[in-house]
């Protein structure tokens, strides 16, 4: 079980500086990054003096790291090689644009769209309504450890997204929004 809590040191709290911590199986860690999906943690980067193990988190968790810094994630949201059409996948980059790039790169490769990485990088820099679209079943996951809008993950539900036609339409819509923004 993961219990999160916030700590604001005296004298600093006026600036809004706060630190997010997690108590995991009786061990305390500073949360560097964290993402929730449907009110459950699915991705954590933590720092602490005690090793974090998958058994501390429960079933379906994978843990990587050592020397005080660990990345833990629920494997089913990061199982990119699966051919299942009902996958809900998360893409976590170093920034929101990086997360969007990973999602676009995955879509392009999964459906054989042949988009160049240069084009995908340009498209990932654009904020469009397609990234929070019910139609395309895409959404953002906010980093609950920092609330930094530049560090969001992208979540895509391939049960509704999964055809090559929808993938092509999704990328074309992002391209069209980019062209419209440039014409304004």
Q: What is the pLDDT of residues 3-32, one digit of tens each?
A: 888 877 765 545 566 788 999 999 999 999
Mark out the alpha helices in the chain (DSSP H runs). Answer: 54-57, 96-110, 117-124, 158-161, 164-183
Q: Look up the pTM and report it.
A: 0.86
Reported as a single tens digit per residue, the pLDDT across 28-39 is 999 999 999 988
Q: Is 12 helix (H, G, I), strand (E, B) or coil?
A: coil
pLDDT over threshold 90, residue 122: yes
Looking at the chain, the number of H-run helices and the number of E-run strands are 5, 9
Residue 182 banded pLDDT, cuts 50, 70, 90: very low
For residue 28, the model assigns a pLDDT of 93
């Amino acid at each position: 079980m993961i219990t999160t809590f916030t700590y604001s040191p005296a004298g600093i709290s006026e600036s809004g500086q706060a630190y997010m911590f997690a108590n995991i199986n009786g061990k305390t860690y500073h949360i560097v990054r964290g993402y929730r999906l449907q009110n459950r943690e699915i991705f954590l980067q933590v720092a602490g003096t005690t090793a974090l193990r998958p058994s501390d988190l429960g079933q379906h968790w994978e843990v990587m790291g050592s020397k005080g810094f660990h990345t833990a994630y629920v494997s089913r949201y990061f199982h990119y090689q699966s051919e299942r059409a009902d996958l809900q996948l998360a893409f976590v980059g170093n920034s929101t644009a990086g997360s969007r790039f990973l999602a676009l790169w995955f879509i392009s490769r999964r459906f054989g769209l042949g988009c160049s990485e240069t084009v995908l990088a340009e498209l990932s820099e654009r904020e469009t309504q397609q990234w929070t679209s019910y139609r395309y079943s895409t959404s953002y996951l906010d980093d609950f450890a920092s609330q930094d809008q530049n560090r969001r993950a992208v979540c895509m539900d391939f049960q509704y997204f999964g055809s090559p036609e929808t993938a092509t339409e999704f990328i074309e819509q992002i391209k069209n929004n980019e062209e419209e923004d440039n014409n304004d």
